[in-house]
Structure 1
């Protein structure tokens, strides 16, 4: 059945490539945008006809891409794309108790999911706890192992941040499980409608354009640019915005990249909000056929330097098979690049409670 879905995906990619070639308005060929970049930095009155674009010419699949590498991703791939045995996980029981009145800690929950605590306030970013990152619960990209905690067992959350609507960043079952315990949801333009359909009260949802800022319960939250795309089906490409996130509280600053490729806007984000005490930056799912939309490990370290980060935590790896590289290649390349650039890094186990100001084990 998985092969059937993969063949469907391949056919879909071919159709999308044809749409890109003839520029029929699907919005994927982002170097020829349908609408102005202004839509990403403002709030259009009507989003029904908007397709968002990036600040730089961007292709989801680059012109002249090697389709054999895409075929390899769908049907063959590296024989080590998944771990041979479960990766280390730490039971995070200590985090679910009452938060400290003052403190700075986080837990990496796998992939891009992170729970951050800043002086008793808890922020959950891109939570995905389902077994599959897919539009179908019974097939599609399966996580390597269960998440370190059940979504229902999470503590009360002050703010949930979603970077974009792709299935490995926005998961309906997870949202349903945390809906009652989350005080607020912060999403890019266009994503609110989906959360409302799932039953999230409109009063809890805050929709952001790029550079939008919102303060809730003493937490300052800003949606910042990213270089990516959006869509949960064949016909909704780029109808919702994508973003990175900046979180500030009591002088502490945290950056989360969401999904992104290399962009000059990292320096703009640093100028406006940096330097950052903690940066969560994606390192995996890269490929030569889609270089514009996914950072590779070396570029992730470069982004950290552009952002003026103090501490770098790699995310978006070791959870889902989303490219042709081995599951361990991203972290090996990341560590090498971090050492060469004297970057202070933390590579925690999933579920491990980390105080970034006291953590000593860089690798």
Structure 2
């Protein structure tokens, strides 16, 4: 009897070790690598927004944390393992698409929202993919699950001229998608330090361009400039701010566009407007705000203030509709932003996921209103 119990215990421990080891290996593959400490200090020490002593990039404003002001319930990480009570009770409308739905040659101006912060921009005959995430928003399949499936599978992506990553959080940078794109010989544009993560997933170093704030890269007729934001980065418990985050300006032959990335509100936005505006269109994050972490993302009124600061009359809301990041109903942000935009004469571009539109010509579609099961 004792021998039987011992065997059961040993087998149980062995199984637990295998499961734990497998999970640890899986998570490590999702994290991606970093440059060595020596390389980071050698590369970044001269930058005003890098602290060599702490080995960390510096946000224009520090991110306070006020847990006593948190709204919507428990803000702890355990909530990301649960089914969100803020998710829609029905599938959201979307247009399912494949690579056959794309023309061989990209247009001069069009956009297609994949969901959250993932979208495809066509500008001056180039096709640019931003922050592509097609599955969940965490290092394991059951962490921060999507409300619903993506309108397109990564295997159905058309030919992409450039992939732009705003920062390395899991809801913006997906390891499995990077491994898939590595086989396509695609070009990548990322903030400082993110290149090492891409290399660890198989992307060739000569296909990666890293930019610091106010540095630019030319792609055909496009000039793409990385700019500051108030945010942070990490993919593990011990790598906070080891890589940079960025917003972007893309200036083409006739269009001047702004991509906010993830940012809190600050004076950097007015500075961007003064130096790089006005803009024909701004892709602006609208969701993930909470009084408990007031500078991590934009509050609805700050979304409108951003549009005014950078001088744009047309806004494409992103960073919503896919994940529950901040404990409020899935449609609360878009409803509030839409009301405030109307009050302040800001026009919105709001296609359903998977719908290709021409910003400024396609009408605003308030599809989130009056949805039924």
TM-score tier by shorter-chain length is 0.7 to 0.9
Deviation at 1:65, TM superposition (A): 4.8
User: Structure 2: how far apart are the matches of 1:310 and 1:341?
Assistant: 10
- Asked whether 1:315 is paired with 2:307, we answer no
Aligned residue in 1 for 2:7: none
User: Structure 1: how far apart are the matches of 2:283 and 2:268?
Assistant: 16
CA contact 2:93–2:353 (8 Å) conserved in 1? yes
Aligned residue in 1 for 2:252: 249
* Inter-CA distance 92–63: structure 2 relative to 1 (3 Å threshold): closer
User: Structure 2: how far apart are the matches of 1:36 and 1:333?
Assistant: 42
* Inter-CA distance 298–214: structure 2 relative to 1 (3 Å threshold): same
Aligned residue in 2 for 1:15: none
* Inter-CA distance 334–78: structure 2 relative to 1 (3 Å threshold): farther
Could you tell me which of 236, 240, 244 is aligned with 1:233? 236
- Asked whether 1:111 is paired with 2:116, we answer yes
Deviation at 1:63, TM superposition (A): 7.3
- Asked whether 1:123 is paired with 2:128, we answer yes
* Inter-CA distance 79–164: structure 2 relative to 1 (3 Å threshold): closer
Deviation at 1:155, TM superposition (A): 1.2
Q: Secondary structure at the match of 2:303?
A: helix
Instruction: Within 5 Å, give how 1:144-183 maps onto structure 2.
Output: 144-181=147-184, 183=186
- Asked whether 1:271 is paired with 2:274, we answer yes
1:91-133 Cα offsets, whole Å, 9 max, x none, are 3456522125x52100010000010001220111111112x11
User: Structure 1: how far apart are the matches of 2:284 and 2:85?
Assistant: 23
1:131-170 Cα offsets, whole Å, 9 max, x none, are x111113x20001111111112111111111111100001
User: Structure 1: how far apart are the matches of 2:171 and 2:160?
Assistant: 20
CA contact 1:301–1:338 (8 Å) conserved in 2? yes
- Asked whether 1:85 is paired with 2:90, we answer yes
Aligned residue in 1 for 2:303: 300
User: Structure 2: how far apart are the matches of 1:68 and 1:254?
Assistant: 34
1:165-224 Cα offsets, whole Å, 9 max, x none, are 100001001111222336311111111111011110000101111111011233211111
Q: Secondary structure at the match of 1:269?
A: helix
Report the number of matched residues: 320
Over alpha carbons, which structure has the higher Rg?
2
- Asked whether 1:346 is paired with 2:349, we answer yes
1:33-78 Cα offsets, whole Å, 9 max, x none, are xx997135xxx9xx8962011112332x237655994347844999
Aligned residue in 1 for 2:39: none
Gapped regions of structure 1 (runs ≥ 5): 1-34
Aligned residue in 1 for 2:138: 134
1:266-292 Cα offsets, whole Å, 9 max, x none, are 111112211111111011111110111
Deviation at 1:347, TM superposition (A): 1.1
CA contact 2:84–2:324 (8 Å) conserved in 1? no
Aligned residue in 1 for 2:195: 192
User: Structure 1: how far apart are the matches of 2:71 and 2:317?
Assistant: 29
User: Structure 2: how far apart are the matches of 1:238 and 1:79?
Assistant: 28
Gapped regions of structure 2 (runs ≥ 5): 1-44, 367-373
* Inter-CA distance 168–88: structure 2 relative to 1 (3 Å threshold): same
CA contact 1:73–1:323 (8 Å) conserved in 2? no
CA contact 1:156–1:182 (8 Å) conserved in 2? no
* Inter-CA distance 179–72: structure 2 relative to 1 (3 Å threshold): closer
CA contact 1:158–1:217 (8 Å) conserved in 2? no
CA contact 2:163–2:189 (8 Å) conserved in 1? yes
Aligned residue in 1 for 2:287: 284
* Inter-CA distance 153–62: structure 2 relative to 1 (3 Å threshold): same
User: Structure 1: how far apart are the matches of 2:313 and 2:298?
Assistant: 19
CA contact 1:164–1:242 (8 Å) conserved in 2? yes
